[in-house]
Amino acid sequence: MLTATDIADRITTAWADHLTRQARPNTPHDHVYASAWRVCDRRMVYELTAPERLPPWPADLLARFRRGDDRERDLLADAARIGRDADPPFSIIGQQERFVLKDHKSRPAITGKVDARILIDNQRMPLEVKAWAPMLVDRIERFEDLFDNPWTRGGGYQLLAYLYGAGEPCGFMLLDRSGLPRLLPVNLEANLDRMEAFLTKAERVIDHVQAGTLPDYLEGDSAECRRCSWYGHTCNPPLAATSATLLTDPELEAQLERRTRRSTRTSRRSCAAWNSASRATSRSPASGASNRAWTCRPT
């Protein structure tokens, strides 16, 4: 007879098998996906020409992808209901509309699908929904913040590509959070340089694919190489400071940043208490101390 532990193990295995069976294999393609901006051109060429060389996604990661898809669908359904009673009312339309951006040689360079559009005040504004790890989302307050983090930067370029492809001046990024979702407005004109750089990058990558060549190794960013899926088995750039330990987990990075913030807050509180006591002592005739109040500053 199976024990409860055996049953739990078997169900977890069946769950993982189910997700693994549903995973679609990566296949070579001749243009860049809007979601696939990378800092390294060489990595983008690999992704177009040899995606089958990457190991399959582990079941745990596939489960996270699935959860993200579920959250995106739920958020859009909620938004559609909320829009009926909003002032002004809005609706969610045009889900999964495909777009193609061509390069200067009229080749399809970047393709993608817009998650949805918000129809409000006679405007049809593109909307991209992201259900990233809470640790990442906590650090994002403005659209520009996406570009500060290697794990969210691609999402920023993705939405810019949608706006550019749709010829829309403005759109939104809807971020899933444990509380209210965060809706970030995005203005294409303010980010036009970024978008044009993405298009130029895609054109350069396609040139390499068509010529059967590889761009040079990425220089000066060994952290990027170490978190790159191609590092070690397909691409072996000479990295400086190989003994350094580099973080490749966005949640761990976020936890460390939080801890730093907490310790800064604690330090501020301690200094405030010290300064208050120091001022009191310097004012007290009974202390017999000099009248100078020493000041503590948080580091």
| Token pair of 127 as six digits | 């909307």
> What residues between 45 and 84 interact with ligand SF4 by CB under 6 A?
46
Binding mask 215-244 for ligand SF4 (x = CB under 6 A): --xx-----xx--x-xx---x-x-------
Q: Is 37 in the site for ligand SF4 (CB under 6 A)?
A: no
CA distances from 232 to 17, 51, 229, 238, 272 (A): 27, 15, 8, 11, 50
* Minimum separation from the CB atom of position 216 to ligand SF4 (A): 8
Q: Where are the beta strands (DSSP E) in the chain?
A: 32-33, 90-93, 97-102, 108-114, 116-120, 123-130, 170-175, 182-187
Our CB check for ligand SF4 shows the closer of 147 and 231 to be 231
Q: Is 207 in the site for ligand SF4 (CB under 6 A)?
A: no
Our CB check for ligand SF4 shows the closer of 22 and 242 to be 242
Q: 132 in helix, strand or coil? A: coil
Show the CA angle centred on residue 168, arms to residues 164 and 171, nearest 5°. 95
* 8-state DSSP, 95: T
Q: Which of 42, 117, 130, 201 binds ligand SF4 (CB under 6 A)?
A: 42
Residues 6 or more apart whose CB falls under 8 angstroms from that of 190 comprise: none
SS (H, E, C) 262-296: HHHHHHHHHHHHHHHHHHHHHHCHHHCCCCCCCCC
Q: Which of 43, 117, 130, 201 binds ligand SF4 (CB under 6 A)?
A: 43
Our CB check for ligand SF4 shows the closer of 31 and 38 to be 38
Element holding 41 (H helix, E strand): helix 41-49
Q: Is 36 in the site for ligand SF4 (CB under 6 A)?
A: no
Our CB check for ligand SF4 shows the closer of 40 and 101 to be 40
Our CB check for ligand SF4 shows the closer of 31 and 43 to be 43
Q: Is 201 in the site for ligand SF4 (CB under 6 A)?
A: no
Instruction: Please report, as ranges, the residues that interact with ligand SF4 according to CB under 6 A.
Output: 40, 42-43, 46, 217-218, 224-225, 228, 230-231, 235, 237
